Structure 1
């Protein structure tokens, strides 16, 4: 057993979306950057693809990602008539939660499977009995009608299933990469999504990154963390980027990253130990 007095529990962060392309992997990688900047250790895991013999997007951005959703076994499970095979397969996800201290990037293609696993295994009972690390859920949506409704439904589902997959905190990230959310202010789904704030759900807005090197990062699978360690000379030498484009691109990327992490922190989304959480609560 761990000595909790000398090794207080860290949180586990699950970045999830019900639909693809919402920016959940971006949120996950920004959490990695945040941990590094604060000197807080974190482990990485992904349940984001069942493509045979390929890494998840998260795994292509970072080394050492624990891949939970890839391989021939999962491919076979999806064609099997034995539902218990899938339940046993996702037990590794359960072991990841028990170990704690992870940023987990969860894809839309497996989100429902993980909730089904948690209910079938009555995971909440074991996690509570083992006094497991707190788990935070971060759901990301772009400014699109269906995506907003899907985010609302996923947050509601997480409350409905909290007995089996217990989340300590929940956050919604409004990703403005496809435009602002102003046109949806009177949309019923968006109003219901924002109303979760009354239940303690944090709301975070992240702006579109206008950096000239953003497309390069996406094309070459360069994380924001690693890009910020580069210089304009690195970009010029390795990728043929004009030095002035690289210079301004890094300047804009640095400013955007800082603005994004500041938004995270204002909403309470930052590395924290159980002890630090308790101290903060007692100070209020």
Structure 2
């Protein structure tokens, strides 16, 4: 059964949409079809960042209706609004990019709807939670709190597996080794949570991908000639940038695979023990 992946962070800018991107690329490389969805706040352009990176993204948290809900005094309106998130979980096989500003709302919806009961009764696809954090004190503590919250709400939003992505785009985590919040975050490994370190991506074309909103998946399909024609990039800069990007993507997905963060796994294969994997990372 194809799994559902929820990429989430309690604070913005931690790399959760990048993680969702890499999960999409991983599905494609393994030949596993997947649906895409974004649960984000209302946006001026009516599309989430995930929705601007890929086509056919189901937008679960965009538009005038959500804006009205936030000013309404009727709490049931919000519950009904997020029922579409519930339908997405029942359908399964989806990569969902969840905005930091709605994460608590989704857990609240799950508890109000007693979602776990229906999901279990319908034998829905397993749900994996992937939490990203950069090497910043508050972000680390937020990631710890989010993982703990997911355990506390397990009855209502049943998570099959949990993963923490240590995104080293802002530097390594070595200086936090003695930080209480970081110790608590890593201690979740004893409860089956897998930790993946991602190094900073040094590709010369990374800034261009961010500026032009080009997904990693789509960038890897370009050639240096494409980059030269479309953006005026020197052919050698484009060639080197694509080489570095490809190496980073391969290393990152290998790290995902090493801890079982993968769309499907053979039934006879035992689940890997919690380990700390090392990959490559970008913003």
Q: TM-score, normalised by structure 1?
A: 0.94
**CA distance in 1: counterparts of 2:157 and 2:176, whole angstroms:** 30
1: CA distance between counterparts of 2:258 and 2:272? 17
Alignment size in residue pairs? 273
CA RMSD of aligned residues (A): 1.3
Instruction: Please tell me whether residue 146 in structure 1 is matched to residue 138 in structure 2.
Output: yes
Kept after mapping to 2: 8 A contact 1:53/1:70:
no
> Which residue does 1:214 correspond to in 2?
206
Match of 2:184 in 1: 192
CA distance in 2, matches of 1:53, 1:240: 28
- Hey, what does 1:281 align to over in structure 2? 270
**Partner SS state of residue 76, structure 2:** helix
**Alpha-carbon distance, 1:127 to partner:** 0.3
Q: Which runs of 5+ in 1 are unaligned?
A: 1-8
The runs of 5 or more residues in structure 2 that have no matched partner are 274-283
Q: How many Å separate the matches in 1 of 2:86 and 2:272?
A: 33
TM-score by length of 2: 0.95
Residue number in structure 2 paired with 1:117: 109
SS at structure 2 position matched to 1:174: strand
Query: CA separation in 1, counterparts of 2:7 and 2:247?
Result: 23
Q: In the TM superposition, what is the alpha-carbon distance from 1:49 to its structure 2 partner?
A: 2.6
Q: Secondary structure at the match of 1:78?
A: helix
Question: Are 2:253 and 1:264 equivalent residues in the alignment?
Answer: no
2:39 aligned to which of 17, 38, 47: 47
Corresponding residue of 1:226: 218
- Any conservation in 2 of the 1:22–1:140 contact (CA below 8 Å)? yes
Which of the residues 165, 174, 177 maps onto 1:173?
Answer: 165
Change (3 A) 1:53 1:170: same
Query: Is the 1:53–1:72 contact (alpha carbons within 8 Å) kept by the matching residues of 2?
Result: no
The answer to whether 1:132 aligns with 2:124 is: yes
- Distance, in Å, in 2 between the alignment partners of 1:47 and 1:134 is 18
Partner of 1:253: 245
CA distance in 2, matches of 1:139, 1:146: 14
What is the Cα deviation at residue 53 of structure 1? 4.7
What secondary structure, in the 3-state scheme, does the structure 1 residue paired with 2:270 have? helix
**Partner of 1:183 in structure 2?**
175
